[in-house]
Amino acid sequence: MIDSLLLNLNDDELFYRSYFEATKNSGTLKKFLRSMNVDEARRRHLIIPELLPENISYQMNDDEYFSPDDPRNVFISPHNRYTPAFTHRHVFFEIAYVYSGHCTQNISTKRVKFSEGDFIFIAPGIYHTMEVFDDQSIIFNILIRKGTFHQMFLPLAKGKDIQSRFFREGLYNSHKIEYLSYHTGGSMKEFMRKIYAEHLTNDEYSDQIQIGMLITMTAEIMRGFHDTMSCSYSQDDIQNDEGFAVLGYIQERNGMLNLADIAGHFGFSESHCSRLIKNTTGMSFSDWKKLLRVRRAENMLMNTNMTISEISSSLATRIQRHSYGFSGKCCTLRRENTASR
């Protein structure tokens, strides 16, 4: 049933197909554009670069798909076939799955063709396009709210391979690997069909079920199809492992560290630690710590019954305890220093 539903072109796709055919001849295109109802096209938010360039979103934020009033964290939709290719980027990770047929994407400066069974993970902030110009190709776009993605895929960022590095860069806002792709053939097709069916159900349980299914699916892809993986990997593009080691150490301790703690642990100077953090994340050490606290607060909001006031108080207490040295050896040293004055 889902397959037949997906194969039928919707009203927007029928329009885009006519538009695509018209673009093959300049005279035909001019006639087609003159015959259009621009107000109706604007209302439907159709992508028509010649007439409505303002309808093109080059930068897509969470609120494009996830409104504050919508509790969903996952958005899944078939890509509208024949949509004019336009360059855009997201603040969140995008997963594209070629359910049938094929597609072409321009990812940053690379033009890549994908075929049935391919999963493509595109990092946030990477400019790309999508080209699907036939009736039979069905491409799913899977979008995950930015904060939710960080929580879902943190365990996958702890390995030493390129796959883990890709997710780790996403967590650390440093996207040197622009995309990963896996060729799974038809083995994940039924799983993807179930996820989409859950998305269409859209009841009070669907969102959590989809999150669990996506975590399972991604882990299975990484484990079972790592030998089919391709990516934008270049040895020159990868940040020094020291930077990721430092960030991992900070993350494991929920950001409750200062530069002296980090430098002491790794045997680096404080200035070297600060430079590694800046080069890897694009942020200062203090800004990175603030971001970690925000993510921790988001996690507590979603996974505990604590109020905003209680969460704020809890985080403030942790920071205060760390500031006064109530943590093992640091505490002892500071008390000794205080007593010797």
183 and 87 in a common domain: yes
Q: pLDDT tens per residue, the chain (341 residues)?
A: 678 788 899 999 999 999 999 999 989 999 999 999 999 999 999 999 888 888 888 877 777 777 777 778 899 999 999 999 988 888 888 899 999 999 999 988 789 999 999 999 998 888 899 999 999 999 999 988 877 877 777 777 777 777 887 877 766 665 678 889 999 998 999 999 999 999 999 899 999 999 999 999 988 998 899 889 888 764 444 445 566 667 667 766 656 678 888 888 877 788 878 877 777 666 788 887 787 777 677 666 766 677 888 777 776 655 554 444 433 333 333 333 333 33
CATH label of the domain that carries residue 303: 1.10.10.60
Q: Looking at the structure, do residues 113 and 195 belong to the same domain, yes or no?
A: yes
Looking at the structure, tell me whether residues 156 and 219 fall in a common domain. Answer: yes
pLDDT at 340: 38
Domain holding 46, by residue range, is 1-56
| Boundary (domain end) residue, out of 209, 235, 261 | 235
- On whether both 21 and 82 belong to a single domain, the answer is no
114-118 own/partner pairs: CB under 8 Å, 24+ apart: 114/181, 115/183, 116/185, 116/186, 117/183, 117/184, 117/185, 117/186, 117/187, 117/188, 117/189, 118/181, 118/182, 118/183, 118/184
Is residue 207 located within the same domain as residue 65?
A: yes
pLDDT score at 197: 93
Q: State if pTM tops 0.75.
A: no
3-state SS, residue 42: helix
pLDDT for 69? 76
Q: What DSSP assignment string belongs to 216-249?
A: HHHHHHHHHSGGG-EE---GGGSPPHHHHHHHHH
Q: Would you give the DSSP letter of residue 136?
A: S
Closest CA to 100 of 140, 71, 73: 140
Are 163 and 137 members of one domain?
yes
Residues 218 and 70 grouped into a single domain? yes
Q: Are residues 66 and 210 in the same domain?
A: yes
Q: Give the domain CATH number at 125.
A: 2.60.120.280
* The pLDDT of residue 208: 92
User: What is the spatial distance between Cα 110 and Cα 108, in angstroms, rounded to a whole number?
Assistant: 6
Same domain, 52 and 65: no
CA distances from 14 to 27, 30, 151, 282, 285 (A): 20, 18, 39, 44, 51
258 and 231 share one domain: no
Domain count, the chain: 3
Final residue of a structural domain among 56, 71, 98: 56
Answer with the one of 214, 235, 256 that is the final residue of a domain: 235
Q: Is the domain of 208 the same as that of 320? A: no
The reported pLDDT for the residue numbered 281 is 67
Same domain for 23 and 88? Answer: no
